[in-house]
Structure 1
Amino acid sequence: MAGKLMNAVQYTAYGGGPDGLQHVEVPVPTPSKDEVLLRLEAVSLNPFDWKVQKGMLRPFLPRKFPHIPASDVAGEVIEVGPGVKNFKPGDKVVAFTSRNGGGLADFAVTKESLTVARPPEVSAADVVGLPIAGLTAHQAVTQSAGINLDGSGKEANILVTAASGGVGHYAVQLAKRGNAHVTATCGARNIELVKSLGADEVLDYKTTDGAALNSPSGRKYDAVIHCANGIPWSTFEPNLSPNGKVIDITPGPTSLVTFALKKLTFSKKQLVPLVLIPKGENLQCLVNLVKEGKLKTVIDSKYPLDKAAEAWAKSIDGHATGKIIVEP
């Protein structure tokens, strides 16, 4: 593929939102050691992508301009770099490109260690939401909340906020697999969907009880998988069990201050900031669950690559149900 050009979407400066995206032709990347080159079939957008564009992670990301965003990809292996042992051209896979992006294009390179085989009966769209949203939910449920996905262990009471969103809809399903009693919050239009994913109780976040996070059955939460924004610690605290914790998947300055204060005062109720550490074996676990029909990706909408700006705007809007997917 050396010397060939591909279609891609990039931006050349911070800010600009959807209008800052540019459609360009750039060289197809070449896989280096331990990398594979994929012809992409599906790309999943995440809030992380447009937050990088806004400059919320400067000066760390992006590492340079112009920048091709998006990190969740699924497609077919076209070429393998030196040292790759587990893949060959023609293999169908899902992968995480790393936080350097590169996904909004016809082709992308990924590390072998963060690339997982996709069963032939599973479509690219079925698994492309797993690398960031699925792995975040998996880490929150299994590591931060301590739930075993095989259902062993003590039953826990779990609250998932923004349960119809990208991370939330996976977290509901995984917590239920782990024998938890799941309370969830979402908008009124998504209540039946979230129930269908396994939630035992669903609250409309715009109602009084929903805003207060009150469990309809009066339960206190052992862990909150917090996927929403703008809920203060004072709302969580009275709803937590004596050793309850709030797992914040998008920790900001306020969360970090609360985390530090709770540690310094030896509080039994803790706020736990989650920083995703993507692991190939966890991605494999999620792909297996999808194959077995035990986990599903809810797809909000699909866009072709030439409509990527519309997909970008939809993600920024913040009301997607499940995942927004671009199909090159």
Structure 2
Amino acid sequence: MAGKVMHAVQYACYGGGAAGLKHVEVPIPTPGKDEVLLKLEATSLNPVDWKIQKGMLRPLLPRKFPCIPATDVAGVIQEVGSGIKNFKPGDQVVAVLSHLTGGGLAEYAVAKKSLTVPRPPEVSAAEGAGLPIAGLTAHLALTQFSGVKLDGSGPRKNILITAASGGVGQYAVQLAKLGNTHVTATCGSRNIDFVKSLGADEVIDYKTPEGAALKSPSGQKYDAVVHCATAIPWSVFEPNLSETGKVIDITPGLSAMWTFAVKKLTLSKKQLVPLLVIPKREKLEYLVNLVKEGKLKTVIDSKHPLSRAEEAWAKSIDGHATGKIIVEP
């Protein structure tokens, strides 16, 4: 495909919102030795995508500009690098692109072999594209930091999931219920029935006094909190935690990092854990297989054509999506 061009959406520098995106024609990328070239079928957006554009993560994720954003994709392999033995043209896959380079809002993208997994026919492109960062975040928060065993074994855990109707939250509820858990979840009033349908045992409206206080209707003390919301201080969490309860913060700010340090230094049994996801191929493959087996689903808020990617971008920034926002070429 050398010399050919593709349609893509990029931003030129830090700052700006949906209006800062620009539709361009750029060369189709060439896969390296251990990479595959994908014709994209679906891309999902994550808050980290627009936070990078706004410069909110500048110290952690420096970018070269202009840049094509988005990392979570599903597509069909068009070409494989010379070092690829386990994939061939025509294979359908799910992949995670690098946050440093992006590339998802385009017709084609290059993915590393190490972060590409087969997509079985039972899993649609949109379902697969929704999984990587959101699904892996939920999986890591529950299994590594909350101690939930997804085969149902292990001691019973009381889990709180905030913002449970969002991209990470919807996966966290479903995955938690695969384990031996009692799940309390928070969301807005319009999504209460939806979150119950995912399996939550108790759902509270975060805008009510009880919801703002994060109190379990049945008086549960939480062994772990998968915190997918923002702007909730430690003082609200602490009285609701069990003796050794943890808050796993998936979007930690300066206040969270300060609390993390203080709790460590004072040897507190109650801890705040800032979460940073490093994608692992085997974990992504595990999640894809759960979808194949009907044990996990990707809830899709909306689908948008690449030609109107700025609408999807604005919806993600708005922060009220129920499930995942998908862009399709």
Give the TM-score category using the shorter length.
over 0.9
Cα distance per residue 1:125-152 (max 9 Å; x no partner):
1111111100000110111111111011
Specify the alignment match of 1:117 in structure 2.
118
Distance 1:317 1:179, change over 3 A: same
Q: Distance in 2 between matches of 1:59 and 1:258?
A: 20
Counterpart amino acid of 2:304?
Y
The answer to whether the aligner puts 1:260 opposite 2:261 as a matched pair is yes
Give the Cα separation in 1 of the matches to 2:33 and 2:153. Answer: 40
Deviates more, 1:122-131 or 1:274-283: 122-131
Shift of 1:57: 2.0
Shift in Å, 1:60: 5.0
Question: Which residue type is aligned with residue 66 of structure 1?
Answer: P
| CA-to-aligned-CA distance 1:35-61 (integer Å, 9 cap, x gap) | 000000000000000000001122553
Shift of residue 62, structure 1, vs aligned partner: 4.3
Q: Tell me the distance in 2 between the aligned counterparts of 1:121 and 1:298.
A: 15
Tell me what 1:44 maps to. Answer: 44
Instruction: Quote the Cα distance in structure 1 between the aligned partners of 2:62 and 2:28.
Output: 19
Q: Deviations over 1:284-307 (max 9, x none)?
A: 000000000000011000000011
TM-score by length of 1: 0.99
Question: 1:75, CA displacement in angstroms?
Answer: 0.7
Structure 1 distance, partners of 2:251, 2:309, is 24
Percent identity between the aligned chains? 76
Q: Is 1:58 matched up with 2:68?
A: no
**1:177 aligned counterpart, secondary structure:** coil
Paired residues for 1:120-131 under 5 Å: 120-131=121-132
In structure 2, do the counterparts of structure 1 residues 318 and 178 end up closer, same or farther at CA, with 3 Å as the change threshold? Answer: same
- By how many angstroms is 1:63 displaced? 2.5
> How much has 1:156 moved relative to structure 2?
0.2
- Quote the residue 2:311 is aligned against: 310
Tell me the amino acid that sits aligned with residue 73 of structure 2: V
CA distance in 2, matches of 1:139, 1:61: 21
How far does the alpha carbon of each residue in 1:259-292 deviate from its partner, in whole angstroms, 9 at most, with x for none?
0000011100000000001000000000000000
> In 1, distance between residues paired with 2:186 and 2:324?
17
Q: Supply the distance in 2 between the matched residues of 1:280 and 1:264 (Cα, whole angstroms).
A: 34
Secondary structure at 1:214 match in 2: coil
- 1:181-209 Cα offsets, whole Å, 9 max, x none, are 10000001101110010100000000111
For 2:270 and 2:79, the matched residues in 1 are separated by: 50
Matched, 1:168 2:169: yes
1:4 partner amino acid: K
Distance (whole Å) between structure 2 residues aligned to residue 207 and residue 302 of structure 1: 31
1:167-192 per-residue CA deviation (whole Å, 9 max, x = no partner) reads 00000000100121100000011011
Alignment of 1:281-300 (within 5 A): 281-300=282-301
Write out per-residue CA displacement over residues 193-232 of structure 1, whole angstroms, 9 at most, x where no aligned residue. Answer: 1001010000000011111000011010000000000100
CA apart distance, 1:2: 1.2
- What is the match of residue 140 of structure 2? 139
The CA deviation string for residues 230-270 of structure 1, in whole angstroms up to 9 with x for no partner, is 10000000000000000000011110000000001110000
Q: Secondary structure at the match of 2:177?
A: helix
AA aligned to 2:255 is T
Which stretches in structure 2 are left out of the alignment for 5+ residues? Answer: none
Report the Cα distance in structure 2 between the residues aligned to 1:60 and 1:168, rounded to whole angstroms.
24
Letter of the aligned partner of 1:224 in structure 2? V
Residue of structure 1 equivalent to 2:26? 26
Aligned to 1:77: 77
Once the two structures are TM-superposed, the CA of residue 120 in structure 1 deviates from its matched residue by: 1.2
Q: 1:139 to 1:60 in 2, by over 3 A?
A: closer
The residue correspondences of 1:238-277 to structure 2 (distance < 5 A) are 238-277=239-278
Match of 1:5 in 2: 5
**Distance in 2, Cα, partners of 1:185 & 1:58:** 30
Give the TM-score taking structure 2 as reference length.
0.99
Please state if 1:67 is matched with 2:67. Answer: yes
Kindly provide the CA deviation profile for residues 93-124 of structure 1, in whole angstroms up to 9, marking residues without a partner as x: 01001112110000000111110100012210
Letter in 2 for 1:30: T
In 2, Cα distance between equivalents of 1:159 and 1:293: 24
Question: 1:200 matched to which residue of 2?
Answer: 201
Q: CA deviation at 1:3?
A: 1.0
Amino acid in the other structure paired with 2:55: G
Q: Secondary structure at the match of 1:159?
A: strand
Note the residue ranges of structure 1 that are not aligned, 5 or more in a row.
Answer: none
**Number of matched pairs:** 328
